[in-house]
């Protein structure tokens, strides 16, 4: 008996590997209802394709969340929100990330996380497509995939937990800078990485919005990329200001970018002359609002975004939802949430921070 078991184990693992290869070869890229799943899909309703809103969330659910990068305060709040949600549900979340937000930095992480067999992966995508094959393989092994903050290719995840509608974020940024520069003059965008799904989606809306007749006197002269790296963002700000001496405003829709740009502006001759707005955390921006470098910027609560994604992951892993439009699930203190078009779950409107309210926010 004992002598035959290593052999049997070997045979079993060869069979499992062969099945996995076969499944991969079939190129199954379906969203959630993994019809042909040969593997261990524990009692989830999604294996039959039908969601059951009443399905209980099993205790001890394990998830892994992957930030865009480690060491970014925004991401830390966001992923601590995932952990909080899982804790409330009697499960646990583990945060695994890389220090750079490069397009492919998350791929080896996903591959190694698959070996841990969590019930779900929650990812803020650095690139929609680079991570897709690895995420699809995870799905084929019964791991549910939730994107949050920055989407991945829609066929590589079940839902995308979006902070605010992409349209509103983009429009608000343009409206805010337009107001600050008196509706006239050159502006630039300081983005994160060139591949980030959320950044590119917001920039597209900004460009479209700028085509409106009321913005005809505003000219977008450059989109620069600071790669969500503080130093690079600082240098890019410096570069923008020397390359475009008539620049009137900068939009930085990244918490890393706006903080670095504000730091540069605050001790430069451009302070109070070149306007800066975008998406920032109140903690990082407080001093620049108080010293007059920045008058208004926006954000949502990143820990609530993670919290919502944690609940969404649990709802999918337990079969309460499958990612189809119209399904709904309970998200703890955030109440009931609906899956919208394209598998999108929304957190809610952003907050505008100014000198009047910034001290009320501690993130």
Q: Which is nearer to ligand RAM, 124 or 130 (CB)?
A: 124
Count other C-beta atoms under 10 Å from residue 90's C-beta. 12
To the nearest 5 percent, what fractions of the chain are helix, strand and coil? 45, 15, 40
Closest C-alpha among 116, 160, 157 to residue 134: 157
- Size, binding site for ligand RAM by CB under 6 A: 14
Closest C-alpha among 311, 314, 345 to residue 327: 345
DSSP-derived 3-state class of residue 96: coil
Shortest spacing between CB 75 and ligand RAM, in angstroms: 6
Question: Which positions from 142 through 201 interact with ligand RAM, judged by CB under 6 A?
Answer: 149-150, 192, 196, 198
Q: Which of 80, 172, 209, 254: binder of ligand RAM (CB under 6 A)?
A: 254
Strand partners, 352: 298
Q: Which is nearer to ligand RAM, 68 or 144 (CB)?
A: 68
Q: Which is nearer to ligand RAM, 259 or 265 (CB)?
A: 259
Task: Tell me phi and psi for residue 316, to 5 degrees.
Answer: -75, -45
Q: Which is nearer to ligand RAM, 29 or 99 (CB)?
A: 99
Q: Which of 31, 46, 74, 236: binder of ligand RAM (CB under 6 A)?
A: 74
The answer to whether 259 contacts ligand RAM (rule: CB under 6 A) is: no
Q: Which of 72, 173, 236, 277: binder of ligand RAM (CB under 6 A)?
A: 72
What's the order of all strands across the beta sheet hosting 62-66?
A: 92-95, 62-66, 120-123, 144-148, 159-162, 344-346
The answer to whether 284 contacts ligand RAM (rule: CB under 6 A) is: no
Q: Which is nearer to ligand RAM, 151 or 327 (CB)?
A: 151
The answer to whether 255 contacts ligand RAM (rule: CB under 6 A) is: yes
Shortest spacing between CB 256 and ligand RAM, in angstroms: 6
Contact code string over 101-130 relative to ligand RAM, x by CB under 6 A: -----------------------x------
Which tokens is 158 given? 């079940």
Question: Contact at 8 Å (CB) between 98 and 106?
Answer: yes
Q: Which of 23, 31, 63, 68: binder of ligand RAM (CB under 6 A)?
A: 68
As a dihedral over the C-alpha atoms of residue 289, residue 258, residue 307, residue 164, rounded to 10 degrees, the angle is 100
Q: How far is 334 from 303, CA to CA, in rounded Å?
A: 12
Which tokens is 261 given? 């740009």
Q: Which is nearer to ligand RAM, 169 or 321 (CB)?
A: 169
Size of the chain, expressed as the number of residues it contains: 363
Count other C-beta atoms under 10 Å from residue 139's C-beta. 23
Distances (CA, A) of 163 to 64, 152, 213, 332: 20, 15, 28, 17
Residue nearest ligand RAM, Cβ-based: 74
The answer to whether 279 contacts ligand RAM (rule: CB under 6 A) is: yes
Stretch near ligand RAM under the rule CB under 6 A, chosen from 2-10, 68-76, 320-328, 344-352 = 68-76
The answer to whether 275 contacts ligand RAM (rule: CB under 6 A) is: no
Stretch near ligand RAM under the rule CB under 6 A, chosen from 67-75, 132-140, 235-243, 320-328 = 67-75
Give the pairing type, strands 328-330 and 336-338.
antiparallel
Question: Contact at 8 Å (CB) between 79 and 65?
Answer: yes
List of residues contacting ligand RAM (CB under 6 A): 68, 72, 74, 124, 149-150, 192, 196, 198, 228, 254-256, 279
């Amino acid at each position: 008996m004992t002598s035959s078991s290593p052999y049997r184990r070997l045979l079993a693992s060869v069979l499992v590997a062969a099945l996995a290869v076969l499944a991969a070869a079939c190129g199954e890229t379906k969203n959630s209802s993994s019809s042909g799943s040969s593997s261990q899909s524990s009692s989830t309703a999604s294996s039959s394709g039908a969601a059951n809103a009443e399905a209980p969330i099993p205790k001890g659910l394990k998830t892994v969340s992957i930030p865009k990068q480690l060491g970014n305060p925004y991401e830390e709040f966001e992923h601590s929100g995932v952990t909080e949600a899982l804790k409330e549900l009697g499960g646990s979340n583990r945060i695994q990330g890389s220090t750079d937000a490069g397009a492919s930095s998350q791929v080896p992480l996903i591959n190694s996380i698959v070996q841990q067999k969590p019930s779900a992966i929650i990812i803020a995508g650095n690139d929609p497509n680079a991570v897709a094959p690895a995420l699809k393989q995870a799905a084929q092994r019964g791991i549910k995939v939730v994107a949050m903050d920055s989407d991945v290719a829609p066929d590589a995840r079940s839902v995308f937990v979006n902070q605010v509608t992409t349209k509103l974020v983009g429009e608000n940024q343009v409206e805010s800078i337009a107001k600050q520069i008196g509706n006239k003059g050159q502006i630039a965008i300081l983005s994160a990485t060139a591949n980030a799904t959320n950044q590119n989606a917001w920039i597209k809306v900004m460009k479209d919005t700028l085509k409106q007749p009321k913005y005809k006197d505003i000219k977008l002269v450059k989109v620069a990329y600071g790669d969500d790296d503080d130093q690079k963002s600082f240098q890019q700000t410096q570069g923008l200001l020397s390359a475009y001496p008539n620049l009137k405003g900068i939009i930085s829709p990244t918490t890393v970018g706006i903080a670095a740009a504000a730091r540069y502006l605050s001790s430069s001759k451009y302070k109070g002359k070149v306007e800066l707005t975008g998406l920032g955390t109140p903690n990082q921006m407080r001093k620049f609002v108080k010293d007059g470098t920045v008058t208004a910027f926006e954000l949502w609560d990143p820990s609530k975004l993670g919290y919502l994604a944690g609940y969404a992951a649990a709802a999918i892993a337990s079969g309460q939802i499958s990612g189809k439009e119209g399904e709904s699930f309970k998200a703890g203190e955030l109440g009931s949430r609906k899956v919208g078009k394209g598998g999108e779950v929304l957190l809610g409107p952003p907050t505008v921070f100014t000198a009047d309210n910034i001290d009320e926010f501690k993130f």
